[in-house]
Amino acid sequence: MSVGLDKRPNPAFYALLVALILMSAGPIAVMIITSLKLNVDIMSETAGLLFVPTVQNYETALCNMLWYEPAHVDYCDPTFGRALVNSLIIAIVSTAITLVIGCMAAYALVRFRFLGRDAMSMTTLLMRMVPPAVLLVPVFGIWTFQFGIDGTRSGIILVYVAMNLPFVIWILQSFIVQVPIQLEEAARMDGAGPLQTFFLVVLPVIKPGLAAAAIFTFRIAWNEFLLANALSDRSSRTVPVTIVNSLTEYDIDWGVIMATGTLLAIPPIIFTFIASRQIITGMTAGAVKG
């Protein structure tokens, strides 16, 4: 089409690309490689890429979930395995709830004119910026003294749903606006009620938007540390909390901690590779819509 685009890029351009890829993926690769090393290899002066990979660190972290007893583990610490289960339950349940009630609210805000609509969208916008650090004090007080749900998984799920709702509502609005209204009118002609129209007609059309919203919600619930730290007790701790707890000033067991970090990073990495297109669409929609 244009002259500039057809010109072959010069070698410096490719060098830049390679450098960028190395810079953005390098630290993650460092983590994964370290998690496959024995502490001897991590500490040794000459270490680099020359080492015998081992899964011992993963066995130590997951010892109570394995079907065999790894020979090198003297004492099995079940903290991490339990936290992994907690994290999975909390992230999946809160994502599911957030999506269902979030897309219903977004639909109402886009398709209906009603009293309180502006107030609701303004609140949604303002609540989007409330940082977890600000919620820390009140949520701790209310959950402990008034609701009595501190230290439970449902307490953490409740705050995650609330925290993610404004963003999910905001992002789904921009997808619902694009659904042709004729589709819904046709469904209504055929005698579908509003709920039927929504679940059977609108939802299938905005699937890409839902995917993006789901990934963003899951990512926040899966990665969040501060509120989980304040609200959980020994039995409901999530993975980020256990990782921070095991980070003492001195004598960090780098191999094992990198293994836990890798395990925490794997689900988001998988999502990124499966659905990068949806993630980027969602990111763009979220930003452009402000």
Partner 1 sequence: MSIQRASRLTPYVFLAPAAAVMAIALLYPVCYMIYASFLDWNPSQRIGEADWIGLRNYINLLSDESFHESFWVTLKFAALVVGAEMVIGVGLALILDRKLRGMSVLRTIFILPMMIAPIVVGLVWRYMYHPTVGLFNRTLADIGVSPVPWLSDGDWAFASVVIADVWQWTPFIFILSLAALQSLPQSALEASRIDGASGWQQIWHIKLPLMMPVLVVTGLLRLIDAFKVLEVILVLTNGGPGLSTEILALRISRTASEFRELGYAAAMANYLLILLMVLTLGMYFYNKVIEARAVRLRKAAAAAAAKEEGA
Please state the closest distance from residue 134 (CB atom) to partner 1, in A. 4
Nearer to partner 1 (CB atom), residue 69 or residue 148: 148
Please state the closest distance from residue 67 (CB atom) to partner 1, in A. 27
The answer to whether 109 and 169 have CB atoms below 8 angstroms apart is: yes
Look up residue 66 and give its DSSP letter: S
| CA–CA dist 96, 112 (Å, integer) | 24
Nearer to partner 1 (CB atom), residue 75 or residue 114: 114
Angle at 221 between CA 202 and CA 139, to 5 degrees: 110
The answer to whether 269 and 27 have CB atoms below 8 angstroms apart is: no
| CA–CA dist 238, 82 (Å, integer) | 8
Please state the closest distance from residue 230 (CB atom) to partner 1, in A. 7
| CA–CA dist 240, 233 (Å, integer) | 13
| CA–CA dist 214, 237 (Å, integer) | 23
Please state the closest distance from residue 68 (CB atom) to partner 1, in A. 28
| CA–CA dist 260, 80 (Å, integer) | 8
Nearer to partner 1 (CB atom), residue 62 or residue 258: 258
Nearer to partner 1 (CB atom), residue 92 or residue 111: 111
| CA–CA dist 153, 87 (Å, integer) | 9
| CA–CA dist 222, 1 (Å, integer) | 45
| CA–CA dist 161, 139 (Å, integer) | 13
Please state the closest distance from residue 144 (CB atom) to partner 1, in A. 8
Please state the closest distance from residue 185 (CB atom) to partner 1, in A. 14
Instruction: Please count the residues of the chain.
Output: 290
The backbone torsions φ and ψ at residue 135, rounded to the nearest 5 degrees and listed phi first, read -75, -15
Nearer to partner 1 (CB atom), residue 68 or residue 248: 248
Cβ neighbour number for residue 226 with a 10 Å cutoff: 16
Nearer to partner 1 (CB atom), residue 68 or residue 145: 145
Nearer to partner 1 (CB atom), residue 74 or residue 208: 208
The answer to whether 124 and 166 have CB atoms below 8 angstroms apart is: yes
Please state the closest distance from residue 77 (CB atom) to partner 1, in A. 18
| CA–CA dist 213, 206 (Å, integer) | 11
Nearer to partner 1 (CB atom), residue 48 or residue 67: 48
Please state the closest distance from residue 36 (CB atom) to partner 1, in A. 14
